[in-house]
Amino acid sequence: MDKIRELSIPNHARIIVISDIHGELELFQRLLDKVQFSKEDYLIINGDLCEKGSNSMGVVQYIMELEANNPKVHVIEGNCDTLVEYLLNEDQNIINYLCTRKHSIMNEWLENIGYKISSESSVKEVKEQLWRHFSREIKWLTELPTAIETDHYIFVHAGLEDIENWKDTSRVAAISIPEFLLKSHQANKYVIVGHWPVGNYTSKTLSNNPIIDQEKKIIANDGGNNVKLSGQLNAFIITPSSSGDNFSHTYVDRFPTTKVIKQFNADSSWTGSISYVNYALTPIEKGEHFTLCKQPGTDQLLYVKNEYILQKDRGYEAKEEVSCTQISVEKEDIVSIIDDSCAGYALIKKDGFVGWVAKEAIE
């Protein structure tokens, strides 16, 4: 990769890392408030400002301004931020992408200038229109660095190749390598990434909180905002202290919260979750609310909420990624409600952990 920014961060400053905002301006602003982002802090936006959410244009505008007014704000590119390059290269495939994906920054820009796109549209003309009105934004997006290196950290959207000199990682790998936490790297610093929702790595209690792998020196921070049913926007926070850097995190999501009115004790044998790829299920015993299933992909036994099991021609599968864990709650706990539309049990999030509680605990 060619675009590496070296950055020297004074060793008393807090570093806040946020990735995969995906067009969620309001969530991003709430998160900055929640971490009490101040003039003393460094803010690293770890790629994927655009796509999937409904206000990519607003996110880009807001962060461009933030960066222009604050030398401590730094942004790197994610794969979703590089899509405008297809347009600049006049690649006709981008027209098909824009016709099938409603939530794209380019569609928001086109709507803003009242240009109706169709599969017949010429890529040259769309490019000319957007360049006329948004050249500043397009230029900014294409000039973002691929990685930022500080004394102790490397910030990159997806990951590094497992090679002697990490700087030889190709740009495509840096912004789009999948499952980096299952791989390894040879840089002798922590590598902080987004891109791959951390929920994909969990096999026990589903959580979208950042994962720190001390041995591999990888920190995965993508909370699956706008990608996962229970997704959230994470802030990973590095706070220096005399004994070294402290790591912490916080998050925001769009779920309503409620106060627990009755204690619920989880059955600890109800654990695990269904995540990306492993949707196939073999039902073993159907209960009133949950069905004990075997997950052929992992050989795990899981209690799957009946409403989340679909019968397809090829067999049974999960409707989407979902927790199969029960979680305990105490009276007065504040929890977020992810799904209260099922019979008997509600899917909630407590301190970032996702699972089921009996409905009488919350209503």
Residue ranges binding Mn ion (CB under 5 A): 48, 78-79, 195
Work out the end-to-end distance of the chain between its first and last CA atoms, rounded to an integer number of angstroms. Answer: 53
Residue 210 or residue 272: which is nearer to Mn ion going by CB?
A: 210
CB 86 within 8 A of CB 54: no
- What is the C-alpha separation between 136 and 32, in angstroms, rounded? 25
Residue 176 or residue 306: which is nearer to Mn ion going by CB?
A: 176
**How many other CB atoms sit within 10 Å of the CB of residue 117?**
16
CB 115 within 8 A of CB 98: no
What's the min distance (Å) between Cβ of 183 and Mn ion? 16
Residue 83 or residue 187: which is nearer to Mn ion going by CB?
A: 83
What's the min distance (Å) between Cβ of 158 and Mn ion? 6
- What is the C-alpha separation between 237 and 243, in angstroms, rounded? 16
Residue 76 or residue 95: which is nearer to Mn ion going by CB?
A: 76
In the numeric block, which tokens belong to residue 95? Answer: 């027209």
What's the min distance (Å) between Cβ of 225 and Mn ion? 11
- What is the C-alpha separation between 202 and 218, in angstroms, rounded? 16
Residue number closest to Mn ion, CB atom? 195
What's the min distance (Å) between Cβ of 76 and Mn ion? 11
Residue 180 or residue 190: which is nearer to Mn ion going by CB?
A: 180
Burial class (CB in 10 A: 0-12, 13-18, 19+), 96: exposed
What's the min distance (Å) between Cβ of 80 and Mn ion? 5
* 3-state SS class at 175: helix
Q: Which residues contact 268 (CB under 8 A, 6 or more apart)?
A: 326
What's the min distance (Å) between Cβ of 168 and Mn ion? 21
H-state helical runs in the chain: 25-34, 56-69, 84-88, 93-100, 105-112, 123-142, 171-176
- What is the C-alpha separation between 15 and 237, in angstroms, rounded? 6
What's the min distance (Å) between Cβ of 51 and Mn ion? 9
Residue 79 or residue 291: which is nearer to Mn ion going by CB?
A: 79
- What is the C-alpha separation between 199 and 231, in angstroms, rounded? 8
Q: Name the amino acid, one letter, at 156.
A: V
What's the min distance (Å) between Cβ of 242 and Mn ion? 36
Residue 79 or residue 295: which is nearer to Mn ion going by CB?
A: 79
Residue 141 or residue 357: which is nearer to Mn ion going by CB?
A: 141
Residue 175 or residue 304: which is nearer to Mn ion going by CB?
A: 175
- What is the C-alpha separation between 205 and 342, in angstroms, rounded? 20
What's the min distance (Å) between Cβ of 79 and Mn ion? 5
